[in-house]
Structure 1
């Protein structure tokens, strides 16, 4: 019997496309398919993949009933306590060109990935996602428990199917939307329990509307779009990994609501160009200059294309608003957008205080002298001398130490600008986690 089971598994994993085109499997009743999924053995070296074709041609697919029932049975039959005994991956052929791969992980994680099909659906679309608004006290027993939901490569043909399915999920806490080509306008409503939202690499996206009372974590990567955040009052950790402007003409006044929404964050990731062209002009207004502070910000992750004088000065202008900053992380990424020369030049930087700043991590700097000059500039402007750590790929992190005596022989023109002499010492232990790769960094 064991040998026979092994042969069946091998056969299922080597099934050819010509056999799929004959469409034997999709002719089976849904109840039989659910039973097959629930009893199929799964060892640590294989995945159970069920293939269905022609699903969109069924009369009731416009209501998403087949799609919902198959994914629902898949969720119900997953054994979270012992996932290797149940299938963790399901492949549905909605049509010849539309394929969805559904995978389940422990702690109620569901990933719906539509990237495997033929990508001939460039039509732009708007998408409204409503989460966690059902009356669960009088809810249907057919609701599914999903804590983390990841949606990949959803297009205009599949967005309604997905929306109908996830309206039956109980309390989604983490929502990830990525690589949805054609998605132009996104609206997410999660009035209860939605704590984390990630919108990643949707290249056509122009606007994001979010209404979520309990949202704490916001992640965005891609070109800068327009944000509307309603009833978002408790953001603690925000990543704005905007690779460049999404519009030919930026109107920074439109981003004042976003600036207010991130005012009380504890962790912030920001590109230098975005401060220069968007937030900088807003913060330079007289009212904001006097009253606006990131009073709770403790960790700042700053990404820039270089650290020339204007870039350093713009960073220091931003730091003046960060009165509680404890840790500063600077990453030089040459792929980051450079400013377009239309912003205000930050040639004069007023002095400020960063009493709580303890450590600065610097990554991607080409020359050691640039790190030394940055430290001296920081000491001069903010009257603070934090521990400075340099990290290079494939190398141990190094701490920059200031020596007590002035260097008498200067070997380079850059070193002539230094007021002190320095040396780098390898970090024996990394008690602060500075040398580890942070998820915010590109």
Structure 2
């Protein structure tokens, strides 16, 4: 039987769908590719970069999941000569904003300031549907042309709890200010970022991947989950050990902690320095990790480096944690310290801080669910 309905104009098809109950209307996506295309058809608009905030707010405010003529989850906004914004409304109050990428080889550098859920800034704004909608915001490829418009738009999302910033080339300096609700912040792959200022006393999750910037936290966050993946090293040549102090204060109470490579690389030469004993005493006076229960070591080149790192960790951990090691990310080995007088286990290494001799052995873990907590602290090499 020939399908005459699917060849009708979009407007007429939308009218047909609008006459059906939502439960029946949604089933039309199974009729043909034409109907599926109709449900996924993006809304397209044109304007200037100054129009971006109002365009996105209007797109969100007009969204109605149960109205087939207003349930478009995709939005494309063309601005300027080459600017393009792709927006997607995802389930669970998530908004994805992807901007057209600038020349990654030679981007224009810029500074970016974001103020979130600030009641003082919102006092002059009347509530709109968009201010009650977005709780998770993913920003990808924001550049010097779009950063100001994005800041203006984000300031109206008063219920925003999770902010993810990804792949912003040219971004050199960033400041994030949240008085109330920001709980989670993720910054990935912004290769030019050198300075990061964060003011958010309720922040619980902070995930960072990229060259390590000059980190300026205004509060010592009570983080539950922290990740610092700076295996490319620092973002500036004048980095000193004291520049890492504020970071240590923010992660000291973390329940889930992931550190990758550069942030903990072992300097073998430091162990033969004349002031090594003095440095060890200073380490013991520092605040220890009070809540660290599990350590997972992953990706180390050799067993000796694993042992050296474990010995360093024992000086800053308040309680004896469960230590797991894996070379392939799948098979786990339990790392156990045994008395050096035990002849059944070969002596592998010795503590360079305390000069006490220890032996170690690895025990293969057969059932991961019997180990302990749901998440372990991870240190990757």
Q: Could you say if the C-alpha distance between residues 426 and 256 of structure 1 is closer, same or farther in structure 2, counting changes exceeding 3 Å?
A: closer
Show structure 2 runs of 5+ residues with no match: 12-24, 31-35, 271-275, 349-358
Q: What residue in structure 2 maps to residue 172 of structure 1?
A: 160
Alpha-carbon distance in structure 2 between the residues aligned to 1:82 and 1:107: 18
Q: What residue in structure 1 maps to residue 59 of structure 2?
A: 74
Secondary structure at the residue paired with 1:223? coil
- Kindly indicate whether residue 218 of structure 2 is the aligned counterpart of residue 230 of structure 1: yes
Secondary structure at the residue paired with 1:177? strand
Aligned residues: 336
Alpha-carbon distance in structure 2 between the residues aligned to 1:232 and 1:5: 59
Q: Could you say if the C-alpha distance between residues 214 and 83 of structure 1 is closer, same or farther in structure 2, counting changes exceeding 3 Å?
A: farther
Task: Verify the 8 A CA contact 2:296 2:324 in the aligned structure 1.
Answer: no
- Kindly indicate whether residue 131 of structure 2 is the aligned counterpart of residue 144 of structure 1: yes
Q: Identify which range, 200-209 or 431-440, moves more after superposition.
A: 431-440
Q: What residue in structure 2 maps to residue 258 of structure 1?
A: 247
- Kindly indicate whether residue 181 of structure 2 is the aligned counterpart of residue 217 of structure 1: no
Alpha-carbon distance in structure 2 between the residues aligned to 1:119 and 1:431: 46
Q: What residue in structure 1 maps to residue 79 of structure 2?
A: 94
Alpha-carbon distance in structure 1 between the residues aligned to 2:308 and 2:378: 26
Task: Verify the 8 A CA contact 1:98 1:118 in the aligned structure 2.
Answer: no
- Give the drift of 1:433: 8.7
Q: Deviations over 1:269-312 (max 9, x none)?
A: 0124312379x99x946344234200022344545542342443
- Give the drift of 1:438: 10
Alpha-carbon distance in structure 1 between the residues aligned to 2:298 and 2:313: 13
TM-score, normalising length: structure 1? 0.64
Q: What residue in structure 2 maps to residue 317 of structure 1?
A: 312
- Give the drift of 1:205: 0.7
Alpha-carbon distance in structure 2 between the residues aligned to 1:440 and 1:101: 36
Q: Deviations over 1:98-142 (max 9, x none)?
A: 111101112211111014677687100010000000256875123
- Kindly indicate whether residue 328 of structure 2 is the aligned counterpart of residue 364 of structure 1: yes
Q: What residue in structure 2 maps to residue 129 of structure 1?
A: 114
Q: Could you say if the C-alpha distance between residues 81 and 131 of structure 1 is closer, same or farther in structure 2, counting changes exceeding 3 Å?
A: farther
- Give the drift of 1:262: 1.4
Q: 1 or 2 for the larger relative contact order (CA 8 Å, sep ≥6)?
A: 2
Secondary structure at the residue paired with 2:313? helix
- Kindly indicate whether residue 285 of structure 2 is the aligned counterpart of residue 290 of structure 1: yes
Q: Deviations over 1:162-185 (max 9, x none)?
A: 111111111210000010000011
Matches within 5 A, 1:10-89: 43=29, 45-46=36-37, 47-53=40-46, 55-56=47-48, 64=50, 66-79=51-64, 86-89=71-74
Secondary structure at the residue paired with 2:258? strand
Secondary structure at the residue paired with 1:202? coil
Q: What residue in structure 1 maps to residue 335 of structure 2?
A: 375
TM-score, normalising length: structure 2? 0.73
- Give the drift of 1:256: 1.0
Task: Verify the 8 A CA contact 2:177 2:200 in the aligned structure 1.
Answer: yes
Q: What residue in structure 1 maps to residue 256 of structure 2?
A: 267
Q: Could you say if the C-alpha distance between residues 321 and 425 of structure 1 is closer, same or farther in structure 2, counting changes exceeding 3 Å?
A: closer
Q: Could you say if the C-alpha distance between residues 141 and 235 of structure 1 is closer, same or farther in structure 2, counting changes exceeding 3 Å?
A: same
Task: Verify the 8 A CA contact 2:296 2:325 in the aligned structure 1.
Answer: no
Show structure 1 runs of 5+ residues with no match: 11-39, 325-353, 384-404, 408-413
Structure 1 vs Structure 2 CA RMSD: 4.4
Q: Could you say if the C-alpha distance between residues 200 and 192 of structure 1 is closer, same or farther in structure 2, counting changes exceeding 3 Å?
A: same
Alpha-carbon distance in structure 1 between the residues aligned to 2:302 and 2:283: 26
Matches within 5 A, 1:182-201: 182-201=170-189
- Give the drift of 1:72: 1.2
Q: Could you say if the C-alpha distance between residues 90 and 364 of structure 1 is closer, same or farther in structure 2, counting changes exceeding 3 Å?
A: same
Q: Identify which range, 91-100 or 155-164, moves more after superposition.
A: 91-100
Q: Could you say if the C-alpha distance between residues 71 and 121 of structure 1 is closer, same or farther in structure 2, counting changes exceeding 3 Å?
A: farther
Q: Deviations over 1:336-377 (max 9, x none)?
A: xxxxxxxxxxxxxxxxxx1xx3462524289x9xx87x835x
Alpha-carbon distance in structure 1 between the residues aligned to 2:377 and 2:315: 24
Q: Could you say if the C-alpha distance between residues 81 and 138 of structure 1 is closer, same or farther in structure 2, counting changes exceeding 3 Å?
A: farther
Alpha-carbon distance in structure 2 between the residues aligned to 1:51 and 1:117: 21
Q: Could you say if the C-alpha distance between residues 121 and 73 of structure 1 is closer, same or farther in structure 2, counting changes exceeding 3 Å?
A: farther
Alpha-carbon distance in structure 2 between the residues aligned to 1:83 and 1:229: 45
Q: Could you say if the C-alpha distance between residues 214 and 306 of structure 1 is closer, same or farther in structure 2, counting changes exceeding 3 Å?
A: same
